Each structure stands twice: as C-alpha cells, then as structure tokens.
Structure 1
Amino acid sequence: MRILQIIDSLDIGGAEKMAINYANSLAKSIEFSGLVATRKEGNLKNQINEKVNYLFLNRKSTIDFKAILRLKKYCKSNKIDYLQAHSSSFFTAFLVKLLYPKLNIIWHDHNGLSEFLSTRKSVALKIASYFFKGIVVVNYQLKNWAERTLNCKNIIYLANFTILNQHEQKETFLKGIDGKRILCVANLRFQKNHFLLLEVAEQLKESHPDWTFHLVGKDFNDDYSAKLKSEINTKNLSDTVFVYGSKSDTQNCINQSEIAILTSQSEGLPVALLEYGLNSKPVVSTEVGEIPLIITNGVNGFVVPKFDASVFCLSLINLIEDEALRIKFGQELYKTIVANNSEQAVITNYINWL
C-alpha cells in the first residue's frame, strides 16, 4: 500500500500534527509513506521521520497549475494509491484527481468548529466529495454532518492519536515559579476562547497569586491577538498570564507545568489534550467536542461548562490545593489515552478500513 499525506502547511497545529503522525506511523508498516506540504513549511518539519518521503509543493495560489502538475507527476512516479488530504488541502487533492483519475482521495476532517457546523462553507467541498473514496472524521459531530451534507457515504470515525517526540530539543523556558505553572496549548483563535482563561486568571490571582498561566500556540497577530493582549494589560495580568507564540518543544513546555487546561468554546478532538495525557498532567477543560469521551469528570480530570469561569476556577483550586489529586488525575488520564488513543489501535483500524 502506498499512501501520501497532504497538508497546506507545517505550522504547529492539530491537523498538521496529525498529518505528520499518520505519515510517520504508516512508514513503519506500509510500502510507501509520503507527506506533501502544499503552501508553506513550518516548525513541524523537523518532526517528519527520515523514512517518510517528503515534498514541498510551494503552491502560490488556490489554483496553481504548475504545482498541481508537479504533484500529479509525483503521485504517478511514486505509484500512490491513496492521497489523504487533511482539512482544506482537499481542493488541491481534488484538482490532482481530475488529472490523474486512478488516484483514491481520502479526506481527513479535523474541523475544530464542531459547535458551529451550520455556518461552515461547503459548496466546493460538496462538489469535491463526489470524487472522495472515503472520509475520516475526528469526532461524531463531524461524522453526522458529513453523512447529511456530503456526497461520499464511506465515512469512518478515527480518534486522534499522538506520539511523544523522544528527540525533542528543549528551547523554551517558561516564566513563573516551578510547581506553580498552568499551561494552555492552543493557537490564538476565537474557538479556543482565551478570554475565558483571562477571567479564570483574574479570579485565581485573588486567592493564589503565585500561580501563573502560560499560553503556547501560534499567534496570528490579528484582532483576536491584539484584543487578548490588551485585556491582559487592562486586567493587570501581565505578571500572571504569559504569551509565548508557537513553540516546537511542546512536550518540554508541558513538563515545566503543573496543570494543563483548555478553555475552548468548540473543539474536535484536540491533540493538545492527548499530549497532556501522555505526559501525565492533570487537566481542567471545557465540556466541548469529544473531550467528555476522554475526561470523566472527577475520575481522570475536570470538565466544566464552557464560558463558566467560576466553576473552572474552583476546579483549578481543587487541583492546586491537593497534590495527591493532581498525581491521580495525571496517572488516570495517561491510562485513558494509552488505552483509547494509541498509535497502534488507530493505525490498525485505518488500514483495515482502507
């Protein structure tokens, strides 16, 4: 079997990490595993396994004929059976399919806006879906949406999985006091709702002023980012909340933290949560997407209603004041991730489905 992953960029993000995870994992078990970045490279490039055949397409526009022809030639010369298109890269895959009909297109939907699917633009996707061989989704809301909306009925839910990087270079040093750091790994996007985090930080500062919040994730330097940084200053949180931007040593950041959180108003299945679990960190998260299928409240973490800063803060205080509970939640979440989101289980199901 010869499978090529295709993703628009290698910037740090959930879909991008999953494209690399699939390429790296499949390289261990199939004849050919490749990865194509169509538009830009990024910090995740150094996580591609040396056994993966890599191509940077350098696509300049939505319809870049030169890039499309180059990808078609690459697929043909490497005898690709399946082109697995992650997120918005489906359109590039669709154009290649028109030129090279024997190619099988698998679309992998990582949409983190599961709570807002009714607003999703889908005209191009509906047309392209006539040419899909199958669709992989990362949560059941996306599966239901695809079954209702798209023109491909071969749809499978496969949980995200993650792999610890044993060769990660430690580059980031978090501010604050050792043993009193709270980490949030999430790109600065509205669905991640960092403004809830600021409300929580404001409340926690009153009772536990030594504890600090650390935001790791891509900063798009847009209106959301500007407003967030302005709020940090307005709420006098500049010594409590620290923004680092995108970092390639996520595992290192997690290991410098005592508690990990997600404050999202919408999610698919966040890779950050899996990374928290594999590093045995206690977690407080909003109750969105597939997160309640992973975290059982009070057993291996806390899940709270989205937008509820008070309940979120109380959950954090419970962990801050109870070291034994932190250890227990971290250990139990690790067991959950290993049992349900392991690389071997997901890849086996995936290959059997193909």
Structure 2
Amino acid sequence: MKICIVTTMFPKFKGDYYGSFVFDEVKELAKKGFEIHVVTQHNPGIPYEETMDNIHIHRFRWLEPKTFRALVHFKGIMDTFRMVTYVISLFLNLIRIVRKYKIQIIHAHSVIPTGFIASMVSKIMNKPLFTTAHGMDINNFENQRIFNYFISVTLNSSFKAIAVSEDLARKMKLMVNDETKVFVLRNGVDTSRFNPARNRSLRDNFGINDDDVLILFVGYLDKFKGIFELINAFYEINGENKNVKLMMVGVGPRKGELVNILTGLDINNEVIFTGRVEPQKIHKFYQAADIFTLPSYTEGLPVSVLEAMACELPVVATTVGGVPEIITDGLNGFLVSPKNEKDLIKKLVALVNNENLRKEFGKNSLEKLNENSMTLQKKIELLIGFYRDVH
C-alpha cells in the first residue's frame, strides 16, 4: 500500500527532534512493508528530496525564512505572505506526488493548513483522506469562524478523522456531519527505548549527585509551555531544599529570558539547559530524572508525558487537552491549573520530599501506560487496521 503523509512537523535531518513522533510512526509503517512518501516544507540547508530509513521525503519550495521557525509562530505581513506561498506550493506538489507515485491513501497530520489542502487534493485525485488532529490545530482556532470553516471542511472530507485524545475528539464531533468518522488514536511511545532503566552516567555527566532530586522538563522553550511559572516555582522549592535540580531539555525563543531571570535570582547554577537532544538519546534524560513536569497552557496529548510514564516517572502537569486522560491526580501524578504557581510548587514539593510517593506514582504511571495500550507498537497495529478499512 502506498501512503502519502502530509505534515508540517518532520525532522529536518536524521537526529532532529522536531516532528520525531511523526517520523517514528511512519518509520514503523515502512518496516511493515508500506511504501511511505512524506510531503513537507523545505528548510534552509537540507535536501529537497531524500530517503531516510526507507521513507521517501519530498520537500517543496516556498518563501521560507532564513532560519527555521515552526509555522505556528508565524505572524505579521511577511509571514502571511510566506503562508500563501506555502499552501499554493503544497497543493501543487501534493497533486504531483500523488499522481507520480500512484498514492493510494493521503494522511495529513494537523487539520490546518496541511489537512485542508490535502482535502482538496483528495477530492481532485479521488483518494481517501485520513486526518490526525494533534491539539493546537484545533485548540488555537476555537473562536475563529473562518478557521472553523476550514477545519469543518477538512474533517468532513476525511475517511477517518483521528484525534490523539478524547478531549480533541469531543471538539471534532461538534464539527462533522457524521460523528462515526471520528476516532481516538492516542500517541504511542516506543517502550523498547523508553523504560524504567536508571541512567546514573548521565547524572554524573551533569554533576547531579545520587541524593539530588532532579525535576525534568522536555519541550519547546516558549511561554505557552509554562516555563516562567516553572522557573518561579523552582526558585521557591530550591530555597527550601538545595538538593533539588531542574533540567530543561529543548530549544526555543525564550531561553535568553530564562537565563536572565535565573541569573537575577542567583539560581542559574541549579538549572541545567541541555539544548537540542537527538531523539535517539532523549530516553536517557527521562531515565536520569526523578520527577517530570509539563505546566503547559495548551496541549493535545503530549508525547513527553507518555515518555515519562514509560520511564516510570511521577508527573506534575496541567489540566489541559488530553493530559487528564493519562494522568490521574493522586495516582500517577498531580494535576494543576495552568499558570497556578502556588499549586505547582505545592505538588512538586510533595514529590520532592517523599521518595516513596515518587516510586508509587512512577510504578502507577507505567501500569497505566500499558493498561491503555499507549505504546507505539499498539498504535501502529490500530492505524494499519484503519488503513485497511478503505478496501
């Protein structure tokens, strides 16, 4: 079966973390014998065409910025013009790829812009469309009528509309004529790599002692991820307990601001910024940590939380998106309201001061992950079943 994946989120090179969850999924499909073609935007310094792990990647030309930026962060007249060139080029190139390689199924990751363009191409080329909503593509446009129209058209044009959480599915069902085409297929984690093995060597590399409690954050360093609330919470926690460290894995536009704040608070030596970490190595950071936290303002179903659960970590996260579906407050972690620093401090302190509670929550995290089949292997099995429903 020949499948064309249309996405804005895909690694720019082998080892790039951006869009790695899409890459992991299609790599597994390629291993199962599917012929996979990925259509995505070009970025500076990388090939327009290449094959990576038996995945055929086609990157189209557009008015790209000189340095990479995720499309969700575009703003202003110039970026609007870039988006116009993006959708036109995507439309033309998607038709070309579908025709040239005799594609049988189009699968768009994100409802807009990729899903909407893919819906037009699917009608023109008479190919079934699958669309996966990941969260921001629905949540960011809830009160914008024109975008809701585009979303509705995309979902109604889809053979199956896939949501990564029950929360997203509920919203999507309000925008389709036939609710039976909306399915929940949660993100999955590769448990062959993400497991409870303890990584002491990485702790040693960063000067973290055995009796230190390491709080881990993995994500984009921007305001909507709750990073400023996390820094303020850590300052309070560190004032009471000097054996607590914070590690922030990832890159983003607010790192400079974070460093300035930490310097002003005189705790910059207690916070570790790792920068970009290759997907093949990211599991080691979870395995070196004691607590995972993600105080975001908005999410779909964050892969980082699943990865933490697979590594038997207790989780402190916010009550957004599908997070409450995988974190049960008081069972395998704690849930707090977005921007609620006081509650974030309280819940983190409870885990910092109680090793037995950390172990109990961590064990429950792994059990919950397995009980709900939130593994990559199970996800691929279900996805293949969806594809086969076409015939």
TM over 0.5: yes
Cα distance in 2 for partners of 1:113, 1:50 equals: 28
Deviation at 1:42, TM superposition (A): 10
The normalised TM-score by structure 2 is: 0.75
Tell which deviates more after alignment, 127-136 or 248-257. 127-136
RMSD of aligned C-alpha atoms? 3.3
Contact 1:183–1:260 under 8 Å retained in 2: yes
Q: Does 1:51 align with 2:54?
A: yes
Partner of 2:275: 245
Deviation for aligned residue 1:280: 1.7
Q: Is the 8 A contact 2:163 2:185 kept in 1?
A: yes
CA apart distance, 1:269: 0.8
Asked whether the equivalents of residues 282 and 333 of structure 1 are also in contact (C-alpha less than 8 Å), the reply is yes
Structure 1 stretches lacking a partner, 5+ long:
none
Distance 2:256 2:164 in 1: 31
Q: How far apart in 2 are the matches of 1:74 and 1:296? A: 44
- CA–CA distance in 1 between the matches of 2:258 and 2:206? 19
Quote the Cα distance in structure 2 between the aligned partners of 1:75 and 1:113. Answer: 24
Q: How many residues in Structure 1 have an aligned counterpart in Structure 2?
A: 343
The answer for the alignment partner of 1:80 in structure 2 is: 103
Q: Does 1:327 align with 2:351?
A: no
- How many angstroms apart in 2 are the aligned matches of 1:334 and 1:27? 28
Check whether the contact 1:21–1:162 (CA below 8 A) recurs between aligned residues.
Answer: no
Match of 1:292? 324
Distance 1:113 1:240, change over 3 A: farther
**Percent identity of equivalent pairs:** 21
The within-5 A match list for 1:33-182 is 33-40=36-43, 50-60=53-63, 61=82, 62-63=84-85, 68-87=91-110, 88-94=113-119, 96-97=121-122, 100-112=124-136, 118-119=142-143, 121-150=147-176, 153=179, 154-163=181-190, 166=193, 175-179=206-210, 180=212, 181-182=214-215
Structure 1 residue 84: deviation in Å?
Answer: 1.1
C-alpha contact 1:281 1:326 (8 A) present in aligned 2: yes
Q: What SS does the aligned partner of 1:27 have?
A: helix
CA deviations on 1:248-296 (whole Å, 9 max, x unpaired) are 2321222232221111122211000011112222222223222222122
Are 1:21 and 2:24 an aligned pair? yes
Q: What is the aligned partner in structure 2 of residue 235 from structure 1? A: 265
Preserved contact between residue 139 and residue 269 of structure 1 (Cα < 8 Å): yes
Alignment TM-score, normalising by the size of structure 1: 0.82
Kindly indicate whether the alpha-carbon contact (under 8 Å) linking 1:177 and 1:210 is maintained by their aligned counterparts in 2. Answer: no
Residues of 2 paired with 1:113 and 1:127: CA distance? 14
Query: Matches of 1:29 and 1:41 in 2, distance apart?
Result: 32
Tell me the secondary structure at the aligned position of residue 264 of structure 1.
coil
Shift in CA distance, 287/253, structure 1 to aligned 2, threshold 3 Å: same
Task: Give the conservation status (yes or no) of the 8 Å contact 2:217–2:248.
Answer: yes
The answer to whether structure 1 residue 209 and structure 2 residue 236 are counterparts is no
The answer on whether the counterparts of 1:104 and 1:133 sit within 8 Å (CA) in structure 2 is yes
Please state how far the C-alpha of 1:49 moved relative to its aligned partner: 6.6
Distance 1:173 1:91 in 2: 48
**Contact 1:217/1:246 (<8 A) preserved:** yes
1:125, 1:150 within 8 Å by CA — same for their partners in 2?
Answer: no
